[in-house]
Structure 1
Amino acid sequence: MKNNTIYIKNVVCGRCITTIQGILDNLDIPYDKVSLGEALLLRALSSEEKIQLATELKKSGFELLQSKNQRIINHIKSVLIGEVSNSTDQKKLSEILSEELHYEYSHITNLFTAAEGQSIQSYFNKLKIEKAKELLEYDELSISEIAYQLGFSTAAYLSTSFKKQTGITPSAYKKMQIKGRKGLDAV
């Protein structure tokens, strides 16, 4: 079977995958598999189908990716969001990305920085702070436990990073009535 993979921006969770599957079903586009950032179709799309798909994806906050660099950037973001959401691996970020994308880390980081205007580490730290906000809102874990879960060496380092990015401490954030949290795909 010919590779009929399409790449989709902002597919970052299970609900996103379900939404993409629904869009493909509604447009009668047969697919084998939908995963983070991509869908393996069972056939090539006509020009008209591509336009329809792009339109429907846009309505739900997704976007078809065209260039190789866009696809790599999207893949990097998907891997990073996965790491923040399910961090059980204590490997270095550079190792994780190199293994996942099959590129040298220097290439990956240069590409990402040029496209996004920030380093991979800076983006990853922003993701971790957004995840920390989520965990603080749940109010089930202590700041030390959140720090450990997100890979910060200490609660103090989490607090310093949190304050640097948000202007307030995690404790102050926890007490706020109106929270300022973004979805990880919006970072």
Structure 2
Amino acid sequence: MGENEQIKALFERVCYDNSVQAYNELYIALCTRLIHFSASIVSSYHLAEEIVSDVFLSLWQKKNELSHVQNPVVYLYVSTKNRSLNTLQEQKRHQHDSLDELNTDMLAIAPEAENGMVSAEVSQKIERAIRSLPARCQLIFRLIKQDRLSYREVAELLNISTKTVDAQLTIAVKKISLAIRFDLSDETAQTYLRLDS
């Protein structure tokens, strides 16, 4: 029996016998291929895994209505493609939900002249430097420096690792230090930009 016949047999057992075992075998047989296919559309393996998982969930929910399906492989690919494209549309519609498409103007809060340590002019330079950072980097810097969140809290909030938080902060601090290097002594800049992990 060829692979497609095997898949057809498993699909029929799902539809006619409500077989959980056949359903699991069908998933194992196809999930890797479908995830790669979906990822080529949505450019994210993580998202593709969710999409394929949804496709199979939907298959299980509608299994008794699908006995007419002649080619289960094509059916599952088409379902995956449709769901991937819908997800892409949703993402475009809610682009501000993506951390890389943030409306950074909403984040802009001029750093306070901490204890008179930083003049208003330098404060503006710092703000310009922060605004020039990539959106996610900027958000992380502000959450830690201005909102006083810990590395762990930011990691949890944004669903990223504390290593990523640390790496993004290093980029931010380097850029800002560079922007104000002629205005503040190294020591003052270090004190101002000190970030406690």
With normalisation by structure 2, the TM-score equals: 0.26
Give 1 or 2: higher strand fraction.
Answer: 1
With normalisation by structure 1, the TM-score equals: 0.27
Tell me which of the two structures has the higher relative contact order, counting C-alpha pairs closer than 8 angstroms and 6 or more residues apart.
Answer: 1
Larger Rg: 2
